[in-house]
Amino acid sequence: MILKEKIERLIDESTLLNIPLMFKLLFRYKFVVMATIVFCLSVCSYLYTRQVEIYWSSIRFSNMQEKSSSPMDAISVALGTDAKDGGFNNSLAEEVRALRLSMDFTRNLVNKLMEKEYFDKMDFNPTNKKSDKFIVSELKNTCEGKEDCFIEAMVRLVPGFYSIEDPERTGLNFVLEVGTADKRTTEILLDVVAKAISASRLDTIRMGYIEQTKSAEKLVAKERVSLKEKNYLGLVKKKELLKDEVTNLQYEIQIHNKLLMENQSQLTIAEAKVQKANSIIKLGVDNKGLNTDKKRNFLREKIDNLSKDINALELIRISHSTREIDILNSLKKELRKSERKLKKLGNTRSVASLNEFVQKSKIKVEENEFNYRVFKGYALKASKKAVLLKEKSTGLVDSLLSTKTKLEHMRPSVNFLKALEAKVIQLKLLEITSTSDLKFDNFATFPVKTKKITRLMLFVYTVFFIVFSLLGVLCTRFLFDDNVYDEEDLKRIFPKVNVLGTAPTFEE
User: Does 500 help bind other proteins (rule: CB under 8 A)?
Assistant: yes
Q: Is 115 in the site for other proteins (CB under 8 A)?
A: no
Which range in 126-134, 412-420, 459-467, 486-494 contacts other proteins by CB under 8 A? 486-494
Contact 442, 5 (CB under 8 A): no
Q: What's the closest the beta carbon of residue 39 comes to other proteins, in angstroms? A: 23
Q: Does 493 help bind other proteins (rule: CB under 8 A)?
A: yes
Burial 261-297 (b: 16+ CB within 10 A, else e): eebeebbeebbebbeebeebeeeebeeeeeebbeebe
Q: Is 286 in the site for other proteins (CB under 8 A)?
A: no
- State which residue, 4 or 323, has the beta carbon closest to other proteins: 4
Q: Counting contacts by CB under 8 A, is residue 432 touching other proteins?
A: no
Separation between Cα atoms, residue 144 and residue 306, nearest integer Å: 132
- Identify which range of 71-79, 96-104, 238-246, 493-501 contacts other proteins by CB under 8 A: 493-501
CA 118, CA 137: separation in Å to the nearest integer? Answer: 11
Q: How far apart are CA 199 and CA 178, in angstroms?
A: 18
Choice between 28 and 238, CB closer to other proteins: 28
Q: Does position 483 bind other proteins by CB under 8 A?
A: yes
Smallest distance from other proteins to CB 490, Å: 6
Query: Minimum Å distance from CB 163 to other proteins?
Result: 55
Region from 169-177, 323-331, 435-443, 500-508 binding other proteins, contact rule CB under 8 A: 500-508
Dist. CA 137–CA 132, nearest whole Å: 14
**Interacting span for other proteins (CB under 8 A) from 31-39, 207-215, 329-337, 488-496:** 488-496
Q: What is the DSSP letter of 52?
A: P
Based on the shown chain and the rule CB under 8 A, indicate whether residue 460 belongs to the binding site for other proteins: no
Look at residues 180, 157, 163, 189 and name the one whose alpha carbon lies nearest to residue 452. Answer: 180
HSE-up (13 A, CA, CB side) for residue 366: 3
The residue among 316 and 500 lying less far from other proteins, judged by its C-beta, is: 500
E-strand stretches of 77-171 = 162-165
Note whether 328 and 310 are within 8 A (CB): yes
Q: Residues 427, 212: contact at Cβ < 8 Å?
A: yes
Contact 382, 260 (CB under 8 A): yes
Q: How far is the CB of 486 from other proteins (least distance, A)?
A: 6
Report in angstroms how near the CB of residue 18 gets to other proteins at its nearest.
18
- The amino acid at residue 342 is L
Dist. CA 200–CA 463, nearest whole Å: 45
Site string for other proteins, 463-482 (x = CB under 8 A): -------------------x
Length of the chain: 508
Q: Please identify, using beta-carbon distances, which residue of 211 and 486 lies nearer to other proteins.
A: 486
> Should residue 490 be labelled a site residue for other proteins when binding is judged by CB under 8 A?
yes
**In angstroms, what is the minimal distance from the CB of 489 to other proteins?**
8
E-state strands within 313-365: none
Q: How far is the CB of 507 from other proteins (least distance, A)?
A: 5
Q: Give residues in contact with other proteins (CB under 8 A).
A: 2, 482-487, 489-490, 493-494, 497-507
